[in-house]
Amino acid sequence: MACIIKTEFYKIKRYSVIWIGVATMFTVVLLARFMATASDGATHTLINFTSSVILNNLVLIYPATIVLIAGYIIDRERTDDTLKNILTIPVSFRKMLIGKLIAVGCIAVALSVIEFLFTLIVFFASGFPGFSIGGAALALFQMIGINLISYIAVMPVIAFTAQKSGSFMAGVGFAFFYGFVGMMASGHGLRDLYPITAGLTVVGYQDGSSDPTGNVLLSAASILFMLAVTFIIVSTAKNREVTATKKKKKKSEKTVHKRNYSAR
């Protein structure tokens, strides 16, 4: 498994889709900056500025972005026609899928650090007050934690759509809707139950509009449930394209056999 993950990182360096992730992190920080400009008279410290970045990223951009990156990385094995070579090494489709999911988890951490760096750059460039080392450390912890938990929340979508070529774009559309609904769930007392927003409670996120406490056990149960669903999907995962091709081949062979038998 370590070799599979290491190989994935070599491949990832060649994929330009990673830059889409970097661009979205920068975009969400700029969005938070524009929102800060629109709120006249408000004092924007590092804590409340990063809170705005975290929430906007979580419900608007991040779920769809991480599904796009994961889906693209998995689907490239088909478009580059390398999947059939991997499966004859032999490496099972499930092992390959697990290796890619772990590699994308590492990308999620890297994007969180990039998001944090962009946040600091824009914060200092804007001249906002209230910077502290403790506040910066808390912001980094929350960004990594929330983004990782959000990734866990969309892993079942990634694992399911990875089994057939081209279907990951449907997963991206669903993930965007999935994340957007989190905004309403968070504001209606469902933050701990909804998988996308469960991480907010776990990492102690709070702002003026949300419950600063929440139920950590309920949030943890929601996250564990998504891990269990992912485990079930991965355990039963197959390269559905190959399965479909084999079924078509068998069907055509039966048809030919019947024709030959009828001719006799």
Q: Rounded mean pLDDT of 137-156?
A: 94
User: What's the pLDDT score for residue 240?
Assistant: 66
pLDDT, tens digit (0-9, with 9 covering 90-100), for 190-224: 888 899 988 888 988 876 444 556 788 999 999 99
pLDDT at 113 over 80: yes
Quick one: pLDDT at residue 243? 47
Which of residues 137 and 183 earns the better pLDDT score? 137
Cα(253)–Cα(259) distance, integer angstroms: 10
pLDDT classification of 261: cutoffs 50, 70, 90: very low
Q: Is the pTM of this model over 0.75?
A: yes
How far apart CA 98 and CA 108 sit, in angstroms, is 15
Amino acid at the residue 53: V
Rounded distance between C-alpha atoms, residue 134 and residue 204, angstroms: 14
Which pLDDT score is estimated for 239?
A: 75
Domain ranges of the chain: 2-239
Q: Average pLDDT, stretch 80-88?
A: 66
34 or 86, which is more confident:
34
